[in-house]
Amino acid sequence: MNTVSDFETSAKGDALFDQYRAANDLFDADDFAAARSRLEGFAAGLRAASRVEQIGRPIDDAIASIVVASYRDHPLVDRALEELALQSRGFEIVLVTTGNERLLECGRRHFDNLVFVTPPFPLGCSAGRNLGVSAAGAPLVIFIDDDGLIEPGCLAALVECARETNAVAVRGRVVPLTHPQKTGQHYDRGPQRLPSGIDCEGISLWRRQAFEAAGGFDPLLSGHEGVALCSRLWRFYGPQAFLYEPKAVLRHDYHRDEAGAEEKKRRYERARRYLDETYPDASPIHATTSKIENAGRTLALGIRSTARAPEPGLEPVSILTTARNGAAFVADYVRGWQAQTARDFEIVFVDDGSRDGTAENLARAWGDDRLVLIERPFEGRGASLNAAVAAARHDLCLIADVDDISMPGRIAWTQNAFAEDPRLDYLSFLYFTEKDLFCCGRPLSPFITDMDVRMLFGMPAPFPAFAFRRRRFALPFDAGLRGGVDCDWLQRNAAAAGALRGRLAQMPMVYYRRHEGQITSSHHDTQLKIRRALIDWAFSRVLGPLSAGDLERIDILIDRRRVPDARAKSALAGWVARLIARNDETQIYDRDTFGLVLCEALDAVAVPPAAPAAPAPAKSAPAASAAPDIRGAATPQPPAPSASQAPNAAAAVAPQPVNAPPAKPGRAAPTALSEIGAGAPPRVPPAAPATAPYQAAAVGPVARGPAEIDRRVRRYRLSAEQAIAARDFRTARWALREALKLRSDPEVYARLSATHKFWIVRAMSRSQPYAG
């Protein structure tokens, strides 16, 4: 809530005061829509009614304008301005009195040159800061709380971060001023520069043009106003444009006392309700950004995305866009491309039979000769893309959908990537949504940047963030397809060229908008079919012609489908091991990356949980027998159920039928996994009928010769297979352990099984020729 007390106002400000006070009353009553409506036209009227004084000489070419809004006189104001004066050489100082009648006196004491702004009546913090920005002259604006003390180097750190990264907004680090407990949960985010919502407005830097274009802070908010403003800018600048800079430190208390803490809590709760109603995307966006430091993948990518922004390259670029009925998105599309840091580009826009004025809106909004607008009857996306490629004047082409928004640095980053690697044929960036800041499809890890390897999982990267060299893609798009056009085009060109060099850049550069009517949702089945064709082609480069068993295993591995049991997963692990070995021989794919993605995919294949163990035998059951093993020690045998327990035991361990995974569209139904492919383990023997309860196989007397050891291992393995078929996993584990004691060094096996990162290595350590 912004408290407005009774006071004398000039005639010029009376109407504004009534408007502002009425809006705040409605806000306090939770009538948020009426409050916003009441403030219509308020900002322009306030600027006209306020007095702006230049004291001393104006600062030419100021580094940044520092805005301090103060609503009350207290000792910390003088100390804050004193600390500010020590670091503000070359900065413009803008002081806004939102109720502090001694602010001008204090400002004159510390600054020879400043801008002083007097509104017609006291204001809340957000409205006061907006007024200060309207009087500022520098392209960067820094807000400093009037009751906080900046640490040495604070202002320089904010400016350096903005200049290095082209960030739109940067917030600093806040530490308690008087007591460690007087801190906010969001104040200190640690020692690393990260993407962050601007939730500490009192130590923040903003690019003035972006701030004013978005309307500044919401004047009804005094808390969360930075979060609301970020949500309006976020789609146009991306998560990497809003940063936390830990070197910019402000000492500030979250509250003065317990009563102040409770009042702040109530005010923030109302602000949260206002956000949820007025800016519904603000909270999800802020929550997604705030979770970056809690996960290794997003933390690493977040740190990487704060890298120094490149200078625009020299190579001109053609932007290729096809659209049908995209008028609703034209304004955002134009805003995104007009904000590019690189200027040497053309837009080739193909209107594919739109009926909503898409072409007219674009021609009216663009305004210069860099637009090549092609209007044609509806023929589909493939034909429109072919028309765009044919009309492009430059070799380096970027794909851009009209409903998505490209970040201001996309062209510059693309130019630099192709300049750094002259052999690069195509490139794609990450995209982002309200729920995920770093999206790239499968494999989910954006650290897998080799596009060849990524094709094993389908379309290797998002097409709306795609860039390519036109001369390397000789084959056209398939004009007859209604879905999967991009995936099909990439696979055919890669096959024709033998190899195309592609890379995934780990920067979120495109905001992907989800809505009804997208090709992704309207032609989903076609896209899946073409994706499968690309996956099969990618695997066939190593395996040659694919068998039915290969196709089934590929589906399980890539789609992370469940396998019936542990034995089926073991068979899959063996197939993966042979596939990795084959690639080591042929070197089709990078051997390390290829092995990594397949082993991780294997780890993700789920096995149904084991059935509950059979009830323990009654106390009267005979004790387990013992047989000496090869080293002369006693080998325990699992207890067999008594005759009276036999029917119940058989029912408990009888195997349940497991349905095989369903066949994919366009493929023959596969046989059981254990029956597919060369080298697969032998089939599990059928379980004993219900009237003949399962019995562990007898191993027989001890013998020390190699032949006898082999015989005993085979018997133990048979026992394990029968137990697995009967879902008696306890006995199966016992039998396998006994076999391992005979076949390999238990210490080596235990160490491998317990510590190795990949499941496949643990599986291989169980079987010949890898045992031990």
Percent of the chain having pLDDT more than 70? Answer: 77
Q: Report pLDDT for 302.
A: 65
Model pTM greater than 0.95?
no
* Across 287-296, 390-399, 511-520, least confident range: 287-296
Lookup result for tokens 């325990």: 636
Q: Report pLDDT for 668.
A: 40
Out of 3.40.50.720, 3.30.565.10, 3.30.360.10, 3.90.550.10, select the CATH number for domain 49-303.
3.90.550.10
Out of 3.40.50.2300, 3.90.550.10, 3.90.1200.10, 3.40.50.1220, select the CATH number for domain 310-531.
3.90.550.10
Given a cut of 80, whether residue 10 has pLDDT beyond it is: no
Structure tokens at 466: 């795609």
Lookup result for tokens 């200027």: 343
Query: What is the rounded distance in angstroms from the CA atom of residue 512 to the CA atom of residue 514?
Result: 6
pLDDT (mean) for 284-298: 69
> What band does 515 get if pLDDT is binned at 50, 70 and 90?
low
pLDDT in tens, 526-568: 888 999 999 999 999 999 999 999 999 999 998 878 888 888 9
pLDDT (mean) for 61-82: 93
pLDDT (mean) for 22-41: 94
> What band does 615 get if pLDDT is binned at 50, 70 and 90?
low
* Short-list 108, 91, 100, 109, CA closest to 69: 100
* Short-list 49, 208, 17, 205, CA closest to 124: 17
pLDDT in tens, 91-111: 999 999 998 999 999 999 999
- Tally the C-alpha atoms within 13 A of residue 97's C-alpha that lie toward its C-beta: 21
Q: Cβ atoms within 10 A of the Cβ of 123, count?
A: 25
Structure tokens at 627: 């047989």
| CATH 3.90.550.10 residue ranges for the chain | 49-303, 310-531
Element (H, E) at 167: none
pLDDT in tens, 184-200: 778 888 898 888 889 89
Given a cut of 60, whether residue 690 has pLDDT beyond it is: no
Q: Report pLDDT for 222.
A: 87
Name the 3-class secondary structure at 115: strand
Q: Give 252-258's long-range contacts (Cβ < 8 A, gap of 24+).
A: 252/145, 252/147, 252/148, 252/149, 252/174, 252/175, 252/176, 252/177, 252/187, 252/202, 252/203, 253/147, 253/176, 253/177, 253/178, 253/179, 253/182, 253/183, 254/176, 254/182, 254/183, 254/184, 254/187, 255/182
Query: What is the rounded distance in angstroms from the CA atom of residue 772 to the CA atom of residue 769?
Result: 9
Element (H, E) at 171: strand 169-175
* Short-list 306, 308, 171, CA closest to 244: 171
Query: What is the rounded distance in angstroms from the CA atom of residue 442 to the CA atom of residue 601?
Result: 10
Given a cut of 60, whether residue 677 has pLDDT beyond it is: no
Q: Report pLDDT for 439.
A: 84
Q: Report pLDDT for 75.
A: 85
Residue 517 DSSP class: T
Given a cut of 60, whether residue 251 has pLDDT beyond it is: yes
- Tell me, what amino acid is at 765? S
Given a cut of 80, whether residue 768 has pLDDT beyond it is: no
Element (H, E) at 78: helix 75-87
Element (H, E) at 492: helix 485-497
Structure tokens at 133: 């920005």
> What band does 633 get if pLDDT is binned at 50, 70 and 90?
very low
Which residue has better confidence, 612 or 209? 209
